[in-house]
């Protein structure tokens, strides 16, 4: 699967990580719905940890669809809300979300 990190390009991640990403997606959704800044920070950090340690960068000239689009590491809950409100990110846990 190809994951786009906003502002940083794409990472290829083996499909076996899909169940783990679904769990993190749910954690992000709960944090967003409840306004849990710490929970959002923890889930986003876990996601980026997987991408950093298990993913491989996709060539910069690759043109293709990303299965998942995530905000860059360090994005705050408030910033994520603004991205969701503007449609920059699909809302986690909805049919618009690729997971």
Q: If you search the block for the tokens 């993913």, which residue do you land on?
A: 55
Tell me what pLDDT residue 46 has.
95
Beta bridge partners of 4: 10, 69
Average pLDDT over residues 15-33: 90
Q: Average of pLDDT values for 67-89?
A: 80
Rg (CA), the chain: 13
For residue 11, pLDDT beyond 50: yes
Written as six digits, the tokens of 40 are 């959002």
């Amino acid at each position: 699967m190809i994951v786009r990190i906003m502002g940083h390009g794409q990472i290829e991640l083996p499909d076996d990580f899909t169940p783990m990403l679904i769990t993190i997606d749910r954690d992000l959704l709960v944090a967003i719905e409840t306004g849990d800044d710490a929970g959002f920070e923890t889930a986003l950090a876990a996601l980026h940890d997987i991408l950093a340690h298990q993913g491989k960068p996709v060539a910069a000239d690759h043109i293709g669809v990303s299965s998942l689009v995530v905000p860059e590491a360090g994005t705050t809950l408030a910033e994520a809300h603004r991205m969701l409100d503007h449609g920059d990110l699909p809302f986690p846990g909805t049919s618009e979300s690729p997971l």
